[in-house]
Amino acid sequence: MYFPGAMQPSTPDWGVSHGRVWCAGILPRMSSDVPVSAIEEAARRIAGAVRRTPLLRLPLDEGPPVYAKCENLQAAGAFKIRGATNFIGQLDPDARRHGVITYSSGNHAQAVALAARRVGVPAVVVMPTTAPAVKVEGARALGAEILFEGTTSVERKRRAETVAEDRELRMVPPFDHPWIIAGQGTVGLEILDDCPDVARILVPVGGGGLVAGVAAAVKQRRPEVRLVGVEPTGAAKMTASLAAGRPVALDRVASLADGLLPVRPGDLTFHHVRRFVDEVVTVDDDPIADAVLWLFRRAKLVVETSGAATLAALLSGSAPDPSDPPGDGAATVVVLSGGNLGLDTLAQLAARRSPDGQQRG
């Protein structure tokens, strides 16, 4: 089945097969694209403020190499510091003086708090009432004023917009802004530098800022590299939007992957996924739990549920087998997007799954 809609005759066909949404080609250049030059500028702007995270080969027993891009080891524990630093670094003095505000399930909140504190800017963050304690305390420890609102991204966005207007604060969007996308795209530049033989990159999908940035960076430099987005089955807003040919909001979302629960992708991030991403797949919660435990036990990495979704897709078969990339020794990279995992959550995941789970490798 093909998805009609806003695409012109020269655009690729999006289709669905065996639960995967795939793209048959890359869209022609549009003025709303974030150019690779902007991502390169972002890399220079954030240098020294963010870590160049390592690319580690995972201890899988067979098949072509699979590497982890360890954004779980990033400052503030997630990739979000890249976009937040790039955004705040471009604000004018008046905006900085008044302060900034954002809405987030946790990782973007911590990133904005840290990026703002580094340059002396007051920060307010609106978080869901269900936000993990480790993320709430992390943002608070970094000096942010914490407000709580509802359980969905729509609810906290509405509260943040009201507070921003009342207090003359500058909004730092969690994903749908070219400065944010450019900052997150620096992950893609680092992967290309550190893994010249990469054939495929798997990226988690929440609101879409990370996958949009990585895909824009990679496809504009190495269009032959395959980009795969991964989102939870219970929060498959990008899959639904691609099927509809436009961004759509889900009625409800539910998943262990709390950082991937926006009910709707951004307009700009959706555009970038349509243009640059080859395939979007979904993964269930049990494989996500298994992936967190596998990374902890086998790779000695602490990775939150949202960050482990990419490996979960690979190990569970939601994404094609690692042997699929063409070429001798061609590598797959999975982006582990965050490591803000509380000990209580790790214990709950261990209790949820048997000691061996359904893990592979």
Residues acting as catalytic residues? 80, 337
Q: How far apart are CA 36 and CA 38, in angstroms?
A: 5
Distance CA 13, CA 2 (A): 6
Q: How many CB atoms lie within 10 A of CB 1?
A: 7
How many Å apart are CA 359 and CA 109, to the nearest integer?
32
Nearest of 245, 236, 179 to residue 212 by alpha carbon: 179
Cβ–Cβ under 8 Å, residues 21 and 239: yes
The sheet carrying 198-204 orders its strands as: 14-17, 20-23, 279-283, 226-232, 198-204, 331-336, 66-70, 55-57
Write out the two tokens for 189: 């530049």
Question: At 298, which amino acid appears?
Answer: R
> Left (φ > 0), alpha (ψ -120 to 50) or beta: where does 357 sit?
left
Residue 43: which residues within 8 A CB-CB, separation 6 or more?
Answer: 186, 189
Crossing angle between the packed helical segments 285-298 and 309-316, to the nearest 10 degrees = 100
**Residues with Cβ within 8 Å of residue 33, at least 6 apart in sequence:** 216, 271, 272, 275
| CB neighbour list of residue 353: distance below 8 Å, 6 or more residues apart | 286, 289, 290, 293
Which among 146, 140, 276 is positioned nearest to 201, based on CA atoms?
Answer: 276
